[in-house]
Structure 1
Amino acid sequence: MKRARLYGRATLVYAVAVALRLRNVRGVLVGNRVLFGFDDPYYHLRRVFLTLQHFPQVPAFDYYLNFPRGAVITWPPGFDLLVSAVCWIVGLGHPAPHRIEATAALLIPFLGGMTAVVVLLLGEEILGRGRWEALAAAGLFAFLPAQQAISTVGRLDHHVLEMTIFGTVVLFFLRGLRDDPGSRFSFWGGLALALGTYCWTGSFLYGGFLTLFALAQMVLDRLHGRSESSAGRSALRVLFWGTLLLVPLVLITPGPAKTSFTYVILSWYQPALLAVATFLVPALSEAIFAAGRRRAALRVSGGVLAAGGLMAAAVWILVRGSGGLQFLTRRDPLWKLIVELTPAWRLPPGQLVYYFSPLLYAAPVAGLLLARTVIRDRFHDTRLNALLALFLFTAAMGIQEARFLNYFAVPYCITLLWALRRGIEALTRRLQARPLRFSVTAAAALLCLIPLRPLLRDSVHSLPGNLDVTLARLYPTLEWMRDRTPRTSYYLEPASKPEYGVLADFTFGHWITTIGERPNFCNPFGIGPWHSKAVTESAGMFLAEAEEPLLHTLDKNEIRYVLLYNTENAISDYAFLINRPAADYLAREPVTGRVIPTPRFFRTFGVRLAFADGSEYTAAGETVPALKGFRLVHESPETRPRRVPGLEGSMQASYVKVFERVKGAVLEGKTDPGAPVQLRVEVTSNTGRTFAYRSRRTAGPDGSFRFTVPYATEAFGDVTAAPALLEAPRCHAEVALGESEVVAGALHPVRCR
């Protein structure tokens, strides 16, 4: 009967949590599109498609990442294999592309709802079976945006599983404290730890939490005169099973896992650290509890020596598996630009309160009350000790990186409801009349519900879709790229190299690969050194001022298209990535304090394409020469008015532009020595906008001149151009150029009239 009631509570919590996370379904499943949003979900989606193409093999390398070198995928295969298996089952072994996308998007709320059930079980394990505050904590967690933010429809990312796994590890560790016949609970805790690491390599941190907590509990038990702690035994068993079960997972992981020792990918690094933690617990336990036993001095010395050796091994593993101390202590500029690595204190004002409701202001009080209770109890209740440790551990993780704030939501909810229960008990302890006790309890509950009123009111409304403004503006252009540019080969064969790649801001990389179905030069993966190298190289390209070295770099990397969106506003970030002062490009006026572009800003490759379409233009009192190797092939119809200090007047600019790298037809002719020669090509874009591509030269001592023209006098893509017009003394010519001449870089002699 008790088990049936528990199942009923768990089902209720799960149903509410899933329903709340399905509220954005209309903004994700739109017609024949599935709009996932954000960046990592799109590469998870691509990996799901690749896995289903080669089921059940999950790819470990992809040429469509960091083209032309390709890249090892840093994510372990577990999460993508799980999603692929569900899609395979739903599609009866042959799922259609749209069914794959819809299934993958809809699966996430059902995975996210599991965390609310873990909160319920963890709350009942810590606070007591059948306690109303455990159910209320799970209900509060289900409503909080902190975890909904990573578990709504379309948030296809392994983050949705992380706290479910962490909570499960802690749950079975605590169950093992009470009674663990045959290591039954410890086995399931170890299995959760191994599977968590198979989905996210950072899950070995959960083993680190267990180790540190068990060691601290053993020290506290010894200081307060208690016998050997069960925390050490339970942690040892969970860590043992976690290490043992992770070994075969490393062996079956495709790619370099079996021959690698690095934290960047799933390798022998993670089992090695867990193994050290497994042996460290009994070694220190031997030293801590040696007093009063036979041969106590020998036990202490042996334990200390063993622990010292294991700690030295752990340091060696950390250094060896992380590329050395220099790598461990480095400050990679890229990490400061990745949104999910943002510290909590850099979030927009009010974001934390939105995530956790106004009850967040009560969290420090509840935490202090919990700490006071634990200390007054002389750390006797291991479960409350674990709740306090989890509260502090996850808070520290969330402060350091905002993406871990959903971790903190678990102990936050349990601690708040525990504090509420304690407060109600303190108020009603001296009240004899039942109606009075009921009134006080109801008043206290109402007092807690008042701050939740906006959250509860919003919960009955639909959530918006996942597309942010950037992706919403890029999406049609990416679909154009998929349908209208030459298709690259081996899209579903990631081990084979395609023909060309696309250069864009690194944050667009996964969208280019999954929506545009083209190889990206750089992408938001930041943990692998090979990924950050490509990001740094791309920043150098966008800031390039000399065209010839840039063309050499692009051709060496087989880049054919350049996609631009908001490039001019990313110049300071690019400078930061390659350790250049932002003041070289953006200066602050001493009087007004206004930031204005410098002449160097207007000479950068990205700005020349964004503002002038590669044509010659005048900015900040300088004439910036034309780019000869790029032509506009597409721009978005959505435009915005731009008025930039340093440019005359205002302009109506498209949000998104795509340029093609071409060799350009070479025009050669003769006029008077030293005479100025002008080139003009009238271009009409796909939106109907007309602009002139201009370039100027000065004839040589013999009167010869030479232009490279990137535009053909025929339609290319959705853009058309008029014949090239040359004007010079004794030379006026209109030259029609064929597409083959522009692509091949053919020489086209000009006879002047």
Structure 2
Amino acid sequence: MAQMDLKKYQPYIIIGVIVLFALLTLWTRGIPSEGLVTAEGVNLLGNDPWYSLRQVEQTVANYPGYAWFDTMTFYPSGDVIYWGPLFVQIIATLCVLTGAATRPEIMLVASWVPPLMAAAMVPVTYLLARKIADWKTGLIAAGLIAVIGSNYAYRSLFGFVDHHIAETLFSTIFVLAYVTALLAARDRPLSPKNFETLKIPAVTAALAGIAYLLGLFNMPTMILFALIVAVFTLVQFLLDFFQDRSSDYLVLINAVVFGVAIIGMAAFGFPHPGLDLSRYTVGHVIVYAVLIAGTLALYGLSVFLKGRPKYYYPAALALIAAAAVAVLFVALPDIYNLLISSLISFFGERPVTTTVQEARAWSFSAAWMTFHWGLVLAAGGAAALLWKNLERVNPAHVFVLIWSAIILASTAAHVRYEYYLAANIALLSAVFAGAVINATWKDVARLLGRGSASKASPAPEAAEKQETPAKKGKKGGKAPDTRKAKTPKRDQPDYLKIGALAAVVAVTLLFAGTSLMGNIALGTNAKYSGMDSQWMEALEWMGENTPDPGVDYYAIYDRESFTYPEGSYGVMSWWDYGHWITFVAKRIPNNNPFQHGVAGPNGSARYFVSTSEEAANRILDNIGTRYVVTDIQLDTSKFHAPATWADPDVGQERFQPYYLLPESAGSTNYQAVPFNNQEYYLTMVSRLHNFDGSMTDPTEASVIYAEYLEPARANTSLPVITRTQQMNATAGAAAVEAYNRNAPAGSGATLLNMYYQYRGDSVLQPLERVPALHHYRLVHETPRNVYGNVGEDGPDLKTVKVFEYVPGATINGEGIIEVPIVTNTGREFTYRQESVNGTFVVPYATSGWSGEVKATGPYRIAGTGQTFDVTEEDILQGRTIN
């Protein structure tokens, strides 16, 4: 009776457990809200979420309009938006419905959408696992997706307002709908003459098509799932042919799914020209039409070859595929190039992608750190599905395996796809755990003494009477039996199976518990990990103290008719900070986190690592830059990024070369160690951020005199340092010259300085004189000293600095000119410049300037009594001072 009651309430129990898992998800994702929410809004995580909020604000102001072209980024051309409106429209609609109109209100509403989508993944994953296996597997999968961590968890945290979690949600909904369609059509006799046989499969397939469109309208990378369907279709046709099964259900499903996709895409429109599949182009329609046609071709070939030797079908497919590739290559090169370039760009890697964290390849150590025991469980789940399909193939299982394999390959190519893979890990882990539970449940019941065997088998006493012959006593009577009753062998539990269950349960709980603890730590650490306060201060200052560029922040402009107004300008910084500049300062960056404006002759990479002011100035002139923003990270830990983007073949080696050093005195083992050379100190980012654009000579601090063997001489991949000595730069330069004058073949000497990780203030210690910049003046710096509280005599380098690019005034004279400067933080320094061809070009005004960074006296040529007053108008007009 108790069991009947439990069965009766089972649906409600399942719903209750799913709700609890969803609430657990919402709680862990919401932890950062305790620290990120302020009176000014939400201090969003990362970079891209700030642009999502910019889009939401724009959409709310023009509801339900969506901008496919943005004038507030990538100056002077503006940027094309290549992802879809769905995620932004969902947030904008919620803002409209809740009455959120101010920036803090909009940010708060938007910040809860990713956690809510993560919570929605719980029932979706349950339903998918239930379709694949049973309700027990569904509950396990729901529990695992609630706690699974790393990229998936991070990208669904409160404050990470980006479309990534929406990609996972809508793609998983598509998989659920497609699997449902497969199961609805499997083993169902389909007849075009009988609509009743087609109705349910067609309706479920249409729903899968709608789910595909939802994913597509969120992000064009949904095309990956068309590839998954294509690979599955090919594999399933082969399996059906070898098992003498009809594949007509695949024709129906694919025709309906991608027919809906074609209709939806046509109704949506094509905001982007060309055939690029990473954007919303007609290329999508072509691919979907080819997929439908390919399915029909596979079906026709299977019908034609029915009854013939099995190897005919794969052989014919190989020949047709080769012919199709040849035809595309010769007759339709655009489509051929479209397909090949899309595959290469998606699964390939370039040197510059190593500078983008989410675009890097996945390593095993990173995989284990993310999913740890989930990888073992998922492998078991994949094996379980394969085992179940050995005798009779289940198309839904085949689809899940192919989906998982392609997503795994995508993640291996680019670590960002971890957030897709989370659904596969949770599902396959649950499949394995569920399979083990189902295989061992009877043994557990027997162990607990309440299995069906105990009911079906005779009681111990009855068994004894049936199986034990009576013993007679001396007088012929029955002797008393003192033996214990035996349980029939078939009713005894298999302890090996029970041990296997215990192990799987333990590993599953370990995976879930470790992941949950990781998510709690992730959320806790994210409480105060939004935009750095120094950047916020600098950009708020920029928004209030620099000229308005004359572009309406909220307006939606047409790309074809828009032109930037006179007086507009760009802000040069590294691409990481572009969205911050747009959202906080409402100014227009020259580059952005879409990596637009980074590479090429006018890119930010070339600018920041340029060692020629003239070359750097040409870049700013070409792209209309007025302000340059630097920070300590670009100067140190991120320096490798612009160096690599500027020259992928050489990278940072030109500025921060690696040498081999013995691991210890007398050791024959070497380690590669980076150093700063003089080229680093001559880069624009170093001259601006470290030296404020002023001429800087080496100090008395020691530098490294190093003698080395060239790689060819040492038979190594890098130069090998054979001797080092600490000395000041002047003595070191003399020692280098003396050694190299008579250096043995394959050896040399050079001056180096410690890498910033080994000596923090080494960035302030050039090896030779660094000339002044003539056209850059510091206009603002943030208060924090990166070296902490080091006293008045310690180094003082601020976190973020803002420079204005100006024409500068010309002063005739010879020697070194100086002017004392005090910054907005009270830091004092002397701007110094050496004359070139009898002239100085100076960037600071000594009068008429109302900015925060001021000259506290006139220009003075050192060693003479000559002084000069330079007005702000002289600086901006580029005048010559007599």
Normalised by the shorter chain, which TM-score bucket? 0.7 to 0.9
Structure 1 residues 536, 335: CA separation in 2 closer, same or farther (over 3 Å shift)? farther
Taking the aligned partners of 1:364 and 1:299, their CA distance within structure 2 comes to 31
Structure 1 residues 621, 126: CA separation in 2 closer, same or farther (over 3 Å shift)? closer
Task: Work out which of the residue numbers 286, 306, 309 in structure 2 matches 1:272.
Answer: 286
Taking the aligned partners of 1:265 and 1:109, their CA distance within structure 2 comes to 27
Taking the aligned partners of 1:340 and 1:272, their CA distance within structure 2 comes to 30
Q: Does 1:689 align with 2:702?
A: no
- Indicate the residue corresponding to 2:147 in structure 1: 143
- Indicate the residue corresponding to 2:122 in structure 1: 116
- Indicate the residue corresponding to 2:215 in structure 1: 196
Query: 1:514-536, CA deviations, whole angstroms, 9 ceiling, x for partnerless residues?
Result: 1221101011214xxx6554697
- Indicate the residue corresponding to 1:517 in structure 2: 586
Taking the aligned partners of 1:287 and 1:605, their CA distance within structure 2 comes to 64
Q: CA deviation at 1:232?
A: 4.3
Task: Work out which of the residue numbers 414, 418, 435 in structure 2 matches 1:405.
Answer: 418
Taking the aligned partners of 1:72 and 1:460, their CA distance within structure 2 comes to 37
Query: Does the CA-based 8 Å contact 1:262-1:321 persist in structure 2?
Result: no
Taking the aligned partners of 1:281 and 1:699, their CA distance within structure 2 comes to 75
Structure 1 residues 155, 469: CA separation in 2 closer, same or farther (over 3 Å shift)? closer
Aligned length: 714
Task: Work out which of the residue numbers 604, 616, 620 in structure 2 matches 1:554.
Answer: 620
Letter of the 2:116 counterpart: F
Taking the aligned partners of 2:512 and 2:79, their CA distance within structure 1 comes to 46
- Indicate the residue corresponding to 1:588 in structure 2: 658
- Indicate the residue corresponding to 2:745 in structure 1: none
Q: Does 1:489 align with 2:550?
A: yes
Structure 1 residues 319, 328: CA separation in 2 closer, same or farther (over 3 Å shift)? farther
Taking the aligned partners of 1:608 and 1:414, their CA distance within structure 2 comes to 53
Taking the aligned partners of 1:464 and 1:535, their CA distance within structure 2 comes to 40
Task: Work out which of the residue numbers 237, 242, 256 in structure 2 matches 1:237.
Answer: 256
Taking the aligned partners of 2:774 and 2:54, their CA distance within structure 1 comes to 35
Letter of the 1:586 counterpart: Q
Taking the aligned partners of 2:825 and 2:46, their CA distance within structure 1 comes to 27
Q: CA deviation at 1:423?
A: 2.3
- Indicate the residue corresponding to 1:33 in structure 2: 41
Structure 1 residues 459, 46: CA separation in 2 closer, same or farther (over 3 Å shift)? closer
Task: Work out which of the residue numbers 631, 635, 639 in structure 2 matches 1:568.
Answer: 635
Q: CA deviation at 1:407?
A: 1.8
Taking the aligned partners of 1:306 and 1:699, their CA distance within structure 2 comes to 73
Structure with higher Rg: it is 2
- Indicate the residue corresponding to 2:373 in structure 1: 358
**718-727 vs 199-208, which deviates more?**
718-727
Query: Does the CA-based 8 Å contact 1:679-1:694 persist in structure 2?
Result: yes
Task: Work out which of the residue numbers 481, 485, 509 in structure 2 matches 1:449.
Answer: 509
Taking the aligned partners of 2:449 and 2:318, their CA distance within structure 1 comes to 58
Letter of the 1:747 counterpart: T
Taking the aligned partners of 2:344 and 2:545, their CA distance within structure 1 comes to 46
- Indicate the residue corresponding to 1:672 in structure 2: none
- Indicate the residue corresponding to 1:207 in structure 2: 226
Q: CA deviation at 1:437?
A: 7.7
- Indicate the residue corresponding to 2:275 in structure 1: 261
Query: Does the CA-based 8 Å contact 1:66-1:520 persist in structure 2?
Result: yes
Question: Please, which runs of 5 or more residues in structure 2 have no aligned partner?
Answer: 1-7, 185-197, 452-492, 663-671, 699-765
**388-397 vs 439-448, which deviates more?**
439-448
Taking the aligned partners of 2:641 and 2:315, their CA distance within structure 1 comes to 54
Q: Does 1:739 align with 2:758?
A: no
Structure 1 residues 540, 301: CA separation in 2 closer, same or farther (over 3 Å shift)? closer
Taking the aligned partners of 1:455 and 1:191, their CA distance within structure 2 comes to 33
- Indicate the residue corresponding to 1:538 in structure 2: 604
Query: Does the CA-based 8 Å contact 1:714-1:720 persist in structure 2?
Result: no
Query: 1:120-167, CA deviations, whole angstroms, 9 ceiling, x for partnerless residues?
Result: 110111113xx2221121111111114222111121111111122222
Query: Does the CA-based 8 Å contact 2:32-2:528 persist in structure 1?
Result: no
> For 1:90-489, what aligned pairs fall within 5 Å after superposition?
90-91=98-99, 95-128=101-134, 131-146=135-150, 147-179=152-184, 181=199, 183-228=202-247, 230-250=249-269, 256-257=271-272, 259-292=273-306, 316-320=334-338, 332-345=350-363, 349=365, 351-374=366-389, 376-378=390-392, 380-430=393-443, 433=446, 435=448, 440=498, 445-446=505-506, 448-457=508-517, 463-465=524-526, 468=529, 471-489=532-550
Structure 1 residues 680, 510: CA separation in 2 closer, same or farther (over 3 Å shift)? same
Q: CA deviation at 1:573?
A: 2.6
Letter of the 1:601 counterpart: Y
Query: Does the CA-based 8 Å contact 1:504-1:562 persist in structure 2?
Result: yes
> For 1:617-696, what aligned pairs fall within 5 Å after superposition?
617-619=696-698, 620-641=766-787, 651-668=795-812, 676-696=814-834
Q: CA deviation at 1:714?
A: 5.9
> For 1:688-727, what aligned pairs fall within 5 Å after superposition?
688-697=826-835, 700=838, 705-713=839-847, 716-727=850-861
- Indicate the residue corresponding to 1:645 in structure 2: none
Q: CA deviation at 1:213?
A: 0.7
Letter of the 1:358 counterpart: W
TM-score by length of 2: 0.74
Q: CA deviation at 1:680?
A: 1.0
Structure 1 residues 137, 331: CA separation in 2 closer, same or farther (over 3 Å shift)? closer
Query: Does the CA-based 8 Å contact 1:664-1:742 persist in structure 2?
Result: yes
Q: CA deviation at 1:405?
A: 1.3
Query: 1:59-89, CA deviations, whole angstroms, 9 ceiling, x for partnerless residues?
Result: 1112222101222122222322222222222
- Indicate the residue corresponding to 2:733 in structure 1: none
Question: Please, which runs of 5 or more residues in structure 1 have no aligned partner?
Answer: 643-648, 670-675
- Secondary structure of 1:152's counterpart equals coil
- Secondary structure of 2:787's counterpart equals strand
Query: Does the CA-based 8 Å contact 1:46-1:514 persist in structure 2?
Result: yes
Structure 1 residues 422, 299: CA separation in 2 closer, same or farther (over 3 Å shift)? closer
Q: CA deviation at 1:14?
A: 3.1
- Secondary structure of 1:622's counterpart equals coil
Taking the aligned partners of 2:264 and 2:836, their CA distance within structure 1 comes to 73
Structure 1 residues 519, 110: CA separation in 2 closer, same or farther (over 3 Å shift)? same
Letter of the 2:305 counterpart: A
Structure 1 residues 324, 340: CA separation in 2 closer, same or farther (over 3 Å shift)? closer
Structure 1 residues 699, 242: CA separation in 2 closer, same or farther (over 3 Å shift)? closer
Query: 1:607-647, CA deviations, whole angstroms, 9 ceiling, x for partnerless residues?
Result: 111111100012454222111101111112111239xxxxx
Letter of the 1:492 counterpart: Y
Taking the aligned partners of 1:408 and 1:571, their CA distance within structure 2 comes to 32
Q: CA deviation at 1:458?
A: 5.8
**70-79 vs 567-576, which deviates more?**
567-576
Taking the aligned partners of 2:517 and 2:623, their CA distance within structure 1 comes to 53
**598-607 vs 711-720, which deviates more?**
711-720
- Indicate the residue corresponding to 1:673 in structure 2: none
Letter of the 1:662 counterpart: V
Query: Does the CA-based 8 Å contact 2:597-2:604 persist in structure 1?
Result: no
Query: 1:343-368, CA deviations, whole angstroms, 9 ceiling, x for partnerless residues?
Result: 1118xx5x544532534344334433
Q: CA deviation at 1:281?
A: 0.8
Structure 1 residues 203, 707: CA separation in 2 closer, same or farther (over 3 Å shift)? closer
Taking the aligned partners of 1:591 and 1:12, their CA distance within structure 2 comes to 57
Structure 1 residues 408, 616: CA separation in 2 closer, same or farther (over 3 Å shift)? same
- Secondary structure of 1:612's counterpart equals coil
Taking the aligned partners of 2:618 and 2:431, their CA distance within structure 1 comes to 65
Structure 1 residues 315, 99: CA separation in 2 closer, same or farther (over 3 Å shift)? farther
Q: CA deviation at 1:719?
A: 1.2
Taking the aligned partners of 2:526 and 2:601, their CA distance within structure 1 comes to 29
Please report the RMSD computed on the Cα atoms of aligned residues, expressed in angstroms: 3.5
